[in-house]
Chain A
Amino acid sequence: MYLSIIAFPLIGCFFSGMFGRILSPKGVAFISITCVFSSFLLSLLSVFEVGFSHCPTFIRFYPWIDSELFDAGWSFCFDSLTVSMCVTVTFISTLVHIYSTSYMSHDPHQARFMSYLSLFTFSMLMLITADNFVQLFFGWEAVGVCSYLLINFWFTRLSANKAAIKAMVINRIGDFGLALGIFVIFATFKTVDYAVVFSLVPYYTTKTVYFLQFELDLITTICILLFIGAMGKSAQLGLHTWLPDAMEGPTPVSALIHAATMVTAGVFLIIRCSFLYENSYLGLSILTIVGSATAFFAAMTGVLQNDLKKVIAYSTCSQLGYMVFACGLSNYSVSIFHLMNHAYFKALLFLSAGSIIHALADEQDMRKMGGLVQVLPFSYTMILIGSLALMGFPFLTGFYSKDVILEIAYANYNFSGIVGFWLGLLSAGFTSFYSFRLIYLTFLSNPLGFKSSMQQAKDAPFALGFPLFVLGCCSLVVGFCTKELFIGLGTPYWNNAIFILPEHIVIIDAEFLSVFIKWLPFIVSILAATLSFFLYKDMMSLLFAIYKTNFGHKFYIFVNRKWLFDKLQNELVSVSLLRLGYSTTYKLIDKGFIELFGPFGLSRLVLQVSKNVSNLQSGLLNHYAFFIFIGVLFFTVMITLFAIFSIYVDVYIFFLLLIAWLVILL
Chain B
Amino acid sequence: MILDQTKYLFITTFLFLIGLSGIFLNRKNIIILLMSVELMLLAINFNLIVFSVFLDDILGQLFALLILTVAASESAIGLAILIIYYRIRGAIAIELINLIKG
Contact = CB atoms under 8 A, between A and B. Distances in A.
B4 interface: no
Given A626-B24, A629-B20, A621 B100 contact: no
B25 A615 contact: no
A199 interface: no
Interface stretch (B47-55, B57-65, B90-98): B90-98
Interface residues of B, number: 16
Contact of B102 (A617, A622, A629): A617
Q: How large is the interface on A (under 10, 10 to 19, 20 to 34, 35 or more residues)?
A: 10 to 19
Interface string B26-38: 1100100100000
B102 A621 contact: no
A622 B23 contact: yes
Interface string B73-102: 000000000000000000000110111111
A619 interface: yes
B20 to A, nearest CB: 6
Contacts of A626: 24
Nearest to B97: A621
Contacts of A615: 102
A616 B102 CA distance: 7
A629 B16 CA distance: 12
Contacts of A629: 20, 23-24
A626 B24 CA distance: 6
A620 interface: yes
Nearest to A621: B94
A615 to B, nearest CB: 7
A614 interface: yes
A550 interface: no
A215 to B, nearest CB: 68
A614 B102 CA distance: 5
A620 B102 contact: no
A621 B33 contact: yes
A619 B27 contact: no
A610 to B, nearest CB: 10
Interface string A608-639: 00000111111111110110010000000000
Nearest to A619: B98
A626 B100 CA distance: 17
A625 B102 contact: no
B100 A619 contact: yes
A617 B95 CA distance: 14
B20 A620 contact: no
Contact of B101 (A618, A621, A622): A618
A629 B40 CA distance: 13
A614 B94 CA distance: 20
B89 to A, nearest CB: 14
A619 B20 contact: no
Contacts of A620: 27, 94-95, 97-98
A273 to B, nearest CB: 75
B20 A622 contact: no
A617 B101 contact: yes
Nearest to B100: A619
Nearest to A620: B98
B38 to A, nearest CB: 15
**Most chain A CB atoms below 10 A, which of B20, B23, B25, B27:** B23
A629 B97 CA distance: 20
A629 B17 CA distance: 11
Nearest to B101: A619
Nearest to B27: A622
B97 to A, nearest CB: 6
Contacts of B95: 620
Contacts of B97: 619-621
A625 B98 contact: no
Contact of A618 (B25, B33, B102): B102
A618 B99 CA distance: 9
Contacts of B33: 621
Contacts of A617: 100-102
A619 B101 CA distance: 5
A623 B26 CA distance: 10
A625 B24 contact: yes
A518 B100 CA distance: 105
Interface string A585-628: 00000000000000000000000000001111111111101100
B99 to A, nearest CB: 7
A395 to B, nearest CB: 100
A614 to B, nearest CB: 4
A622 B100 contact: no
Interface in A334-381: none
B27 to A, nearest CB: 6
A621 B24 CA distance: 8
Contacts of B26: 622
B56 to A, nearest CB: 26
A622 B94 contact: yes
A617 B99 CA distance: 11
Nearest to B95: A620
B21 to A, nearest CB: 9
A429 B80 CA distance: 115
Contacts of B23: 622, 625, 629
Given A619-B100, A620-B98, A629-B23, 4 more contacts: A613-B102, A617-B100, A623-B24, A626-B24
Interface of A: 613-623, 625-626, 629
14 contacts: A613-B102, A614-B102, A617-B101, A617-B102, A618-B98, A619-B101, A621-B94, A622-B24, A622-B25, A622-B26, A622-B27, A625-B24, A626-B24, A629-B24
Interface of B: 20, 23-27, 30, 33, 94-95, 97-102
Closest 4 A-B residue pairs measured CB to CB?
A617-B102, A619-B98, A614-B102, A619-B101
